[in-house]
Amino acid sequence: MINIALSTLQQVAAHFVGNNANGDPLKLSEGPFELHDDNLVGLLRSYFLGNFTTPEFYSFTFSNEDFTLNPLYRFASDIFDDPYSLFDNSINIAKHLFGATQHPNIKAGELYVAYVKGIEIDGILYDGVGIFKSENKENYLKLTRDFELYTDEGTNVRKLDKGCVILDTERESGFKVMIVDNVNKSDAHFWKHDFLNVRPQSDAFHHTSNFMNMTRQYVAEQLSEEFNVSKAEKIDLLNRSVEFFKSNEEFSKAEFETSVLGDADVIESFRNYGKNFMSENEFDAVDQFEISAQAVKRQAKVFKTVLKLDKNFHIYIHGSRELIEKGFDEVQGKHYYKLYFDSES
């Protein structure tokens, strides 16, 4: 549970980071903001921290696995040791971001670095260093009291483009880091890997997310390649997968395979797919773990349980697979589904 209600912004610095690959400049400010306007401070706090609602945690790493060599790990450590060094280290962070911006499609934008106190996670208060990047601008209309209408361009404070909060805990293993990355395909790798260089923590949230995502992709990509299954049967398998995670507090891969997959050949196929999936994505392969209810809730939203028939019908399948039958009408020359039910509404 993440709660920012008690959090306060202690210091905020801002710089402009252009696209290094396109020859854009890096513009550095001369000092931190004066935080005297309570309305502005409240708006900044909401903008910076309001998107961090899911307990999805990462830790710093580096190419040789020595996270202490990660520049952001060093900058954050310096700030936690001496919060008054935030502005000087914000310049270091801006230069590091500028140097990492090597792809021409990465957008220029404002970089904010903030020192935050009182971030509550599972009942414990932490200090944090926030790094936030604003890339996208929107047009606004402004009507004056004299009824003159103007247009202006600015940042939508309800939409944080990229951000991370480094919590002052677990320093000995690379800190605990939260991330927001509303990415597009052109820079999907940039924020998390090229700039921050973080890896997912080995925790319940990531184990649950990874296994559910793997199951969904197996059903979508591999199952029908090896077995003669209908779309309704694939949806039924997805429904049973989600129900398994919703109904259990602890995950057992053996129990999942038996109760959800059932067939020995499907289980073997699933295991082979899982080995490749975990290896390609550099995920930890764990057969038993605590199930994260928040991860289940997030993943369940992308499990497609709608059967689309041409452009005429959508069938939402939530219950028993035995109540739907598929057939082929030779006179009509079309497939059909037969549904059994007790009542309609």
Per-residue pLDDT reduced to its tens digit, 2-41 = 899 999 999 999 999 999 888 899 999 999 999 889 999 9
Average pLDDT, the chain: 90
Determine the pLDDT at residue 280. 87
Mean pLDDT of 118-136: 95
Q: How far apart are the first and last CA of the chain?
A: 38
Determine the pLDDT at residue 272. 94
Looking at the predicted structure, is the pLDDT value of residue 281 above 90? no
State the amino acid at position 24 in one-letter form: D
The neighbour count for residue 331, using CB atoms within 10 Å, is: 5
Residue 213 pLDDT level (bands cut at 50, 70, 90): very high
pTM, 2 dp: 0.79
286 contacts: CB under 8 Å, gap ≥ 6: 202, 207
- Give percent above pLDDT 70 in the chain: 97
Residue among 213, 205, 198 at smallest CA distance from 165 = 198
CA dist., res. 28 & res. 13, Å (int): 10
Q: Six-digit token pair at 34?
A: 């004066």
State the amino acid at position 191 in one-letter form: W
Mean pLDDT of 66-91: 97
Determine the pLDDT at residue 325. 79
CA dist., res. 27 & res. 39, Å (int): 27
CA dist., res. 114 & res. 33, Å (int): 10
Determine the pLDDT at residue 319. 66
188 contacts: CB under 8 Å, gap ≥ 6: none
Looking at the predicted structure, is the pLDDT value of residue 184 above 70? no
Distances (CA, A) of 42 to 14, 71, 265, 300: 17, 30, 57, 33
Inter-helix orientation angle 231-247/293-300, to 10°: 160
Rounded to the nearest angstrom, the gap between the alpha carbon of residue 297 and the centroid of all alpha carbons in its chain is 13
Please answer whether residues 133 and 110 qualify as being in contact, where contact means their C-beta atoms are separated by less than 8 angstroms: yes
Mean pLDDT of 50-75: 92
Between 220 and 315, name the one with better pLDDT.
220
DSSP string, 87-151: HHHHHHHHHHHHHH--STTSPPEEEEEEEEEEEEETTEEEEEEEEEEE---EEEEEE-TT--EEE
The neighbour count for residue 44, using CB atoms within 10 Å, is: 20
CA dist., res. 204 & res. 277, Å (int): 18
Looking at the predicted structure, is the pLDDT value of residue 108 above 70? yes
